[in-house]
């Protein structure tokens, strides 16, 4: 779908066909993408409207306004700004398309117009919207504790965050894991994304090449599949390859038996229900999906912590022996460098249960 750059609309009647180069009589779909309080007036006619003519108003918070293909010129003007502002020093921004959008046009950045299929999130996933990407956070805990709220990840306890760039180490609970290659992604203390590749040496700790401030996902690559649980942790004493202080563990790749029914097969990936927004970006929460076992009840929630701030807890949601999918109508914005974490607690008689969830975010480069 053809979409123009956001066009500046002055506070006088202006021919939109001339501004955009779109032929008179072409159907158009308009959206006010300016500031809150900006209003764009629209008029159709063969001649320029009078100064006193108001036309039809497009508010900043509305979705698109359809112009029918009736052969008349389209005129627009900036009608007003916020009260007491100097109107004639301002312009409004108008987005224009020539095909009806399926989703509100406000989800297309005026700075990065694209050929838009109508499914905005699909176009983001395909890499067609500059400055935008999809992020999926998948968390799972194998042993949710009764009466104790904990982080949703592969270790059944609350997560302890690093406070500075730290050298981390990988080890396995199986001495035969001497050549398993693992890719680790995360952030440094500048909140820049980093990627490291490390090879296991059985139950011994092997240092990663980069220092990490946040660890997010660890994935097994290459031909060798682990025979034990893999731990990425701070330096620690080990028992059978497992760090003695589990608070020092920053991610784990577990054996779960989920691989085609194999009793003790590796998942080949960690399931961390936490992440950190990179510098220069904002995340928008789109949806959450959660699953709990039969006859089990769980209360789960998400929380975030702005850099230098305190954890902000969102309203908890109960879930009983079911799965649930909830798209968000109001997109919660998480600012750059904030930490996000999913937490859960098992209800009475539901301790030791497995709980899984998936959060989906839209990541937007600030200024895009």
Range of the domain at 162: 156-253
Please report the pLDDT score of residue 110 as a whole number: 37
Residues near 125 by beta carbon (within 8 Å), at least 6 away in sequence:
134
Q: Is residue 262 part of a domain?
A: no
Enclosing H/E stretch for 17:
helix 16-20
DSSP β-bridge partners for residue 100: none
Q: Does some domain include residue 334? A: yes
Give the separation between CA 110 and CA 250, rounded to whole angstroms: 40
Closest to 92 (Cα-Cα) out of 143, 138, 57: 57
Q: Is 99 in the same domain as 34?
A: yes
SS3 at position 106: helix
Q: What is the pLDDT of residue 221?
A: 93
Residue with tokens 């989800």: 107
**155 close to 142: Cβ distance less than 8 angstroms:** no
* Domain identity same for 243 and 280: no
The answer to whether 91 and 8 have CB atoms below 8 angstroms apart is yes
The residue from 221, 253, 285 where one domain ends is 253
Q: What pLDDT sits at residue 108?
A: 38
Say if residue 227 is in the same domain as residue 289: no
Structural domain count, the chain: 3
Same-domain pairing of 13 and 111? yes
What torsion, rounded to 10 degrees, do the Cα atoms 297, 251, 339, 184 define? -140
| One domain, residues 27 and 57 | yes
Rounded CA separation 257/109 (Å) = 44
Domain at 337, CATH number: 2.60.120.230
Tell me: do 80 and 161 sit in the same domain.
no
Q: State the CATH number of the domain containing residue 56.
A: 2.60.120
Within-domain flag for 329 = yes
Q: What is the pLDDT, as a whole number, of residue 4? A: 61
Q: Are 253 and 226 in contact (CB under 8 A)?
A: yes
The phi, psi pair for 67, rounded to 5°, reads -105, 115
For residue 144, being part of any structural domain is answered with no
Per the listing, tokens 């999809």 go with 134
* 301 lies in the same domain as 239: no
* One domain for residues 72 and 105: yes
The closest of 137, 157, 162, 159 to 273, measured between CA atoms, is 137
Buried b (16+ CB within 10 A) or exposed e, 26-45: eebbbbbbbeeebbbbbbbe
How many Å apart are CA 202 and CA 228, to the nearest integer? 9
Same domain (yes/no): 13, 114: yes
Count Cβ atoms within 10 A of the Cβ of residue 187 and give its class: 0-12 exposed, 13-18 middle, 19 or more buried: buried
Residue 260's pLDDT is: 42
Reading the chain (368 residues) residue by residue, the pLDDT tens digits are 455 667 888 888 999 999 989 999 888 888 887 766 678 888 888 899 988 887 888 876 555 678 888 889 999 998 764 444 444 457 778 888 887 664 444 433 333 334 444 567 887 888 777 788 999 999 988 878 777 889 999 998 899 999 999 999 999 999 999 999 999 999 999 999 999 999 999 999 999 999 999 999 999 998 899 999 999 999 999 999 999 999 999 999 998 655 444 455 678 999 999 999 999 999 999 888 888 876 678 888 899 999 999 999 887 787 776 777 788 767 788 999 999 999 988 877 766 677 888 999 999 998 76
Residue 101 lies in a domain: yes
Length of the chain: 368
233 touches 169 (CB < 8 A): yes
Say if residue 108 is in the same domain as residue 175: no
181 and 90 in a common domain = no
User: Does residue 345 lie in a domain region?
Assistant: yes
Element (H, E) at 209: strand 206-212
Residue 261 counted as domain residue:
no
**Both 103 and 207 in a single domain?**
no
Residue 150 resides in a domain: no
DSSP string, 283-340: EEEEEEEEEE-TT-EEEEEEEEE-TTS--EEPPPEEEESSEEEEE-SSPPEE-TT-EE
């Amino acid at each position: 779908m053809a979409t123009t750059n956001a066009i500046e609309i002055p506070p006088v009647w202006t021919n939109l066909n001339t501004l955009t180069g779109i032929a008179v009589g072409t159907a158009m779909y308009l959206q006010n993408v300016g500031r809150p309080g900006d209003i764009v007036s629209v008029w159709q006619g063969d001649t320029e409207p009078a100064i006193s003519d108001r036309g039809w108003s497009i508010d900043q918070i509305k979705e698109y306004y359809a112009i029918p293909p009736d052969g008349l010129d389209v005129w627009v003007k900036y009608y007003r700004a916020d009260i007491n502002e100097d109107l004639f020093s301002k312009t409004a921004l108008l987005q224009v398309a020539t095909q009806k959008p399926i989703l509100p046009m406000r989800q297309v950045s005026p700075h990065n117009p694209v050929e838009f299929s109508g499914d905005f999130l699909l176009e983001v996933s395909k890499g067609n919207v500059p400055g935008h990407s999809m992020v999926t956070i998948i968390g799972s805990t194998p042993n949710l504790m009764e009466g104790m709220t904990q982080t949703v990840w592969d270790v059944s306890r609350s997560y302890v965050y690093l406070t500075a760039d730290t050298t981390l180490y990988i080890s396995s609970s199986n001495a035969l894991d001497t050549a398993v290659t693992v890719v680790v992604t995360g952030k440094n203390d500048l909140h820049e994304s980093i990627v490291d590749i490390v090879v296991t040496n059985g139950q011994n700790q092997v240092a990663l090449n980069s220092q990490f401030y946040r660890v997010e996902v660890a994935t097994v690559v290459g031909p060798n599949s682990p025979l034990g649980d893999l731990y990425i942790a701070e330096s620690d004493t080990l028992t059978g390859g497992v760090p003695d202080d589990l608070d020092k563990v920053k991610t784990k790749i577990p054996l779960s038996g989920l691989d085609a029914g194999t009793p003790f097969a590796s998942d080949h990936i960690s399931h961390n229900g936490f992440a950190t927004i990179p510098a220069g970006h904002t995340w928008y929460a789109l949806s959450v999906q959660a699953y709990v076992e039969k006859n089990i009840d769980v209360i789960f929630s998400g929380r975030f912590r702005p850099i230098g701030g305190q954890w902000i807890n969102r309203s908890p949601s109960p879930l009983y022996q079911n799965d649930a999918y909830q798209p968000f109508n109001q997109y919660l914005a998480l600012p750059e460098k904030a930490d996000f974490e999913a937490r859960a607690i098992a209800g009475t008689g539901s301790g030791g249960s497995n709980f899984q969830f998936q959060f989906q975010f839209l990541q937007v480069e600030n200024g895009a």
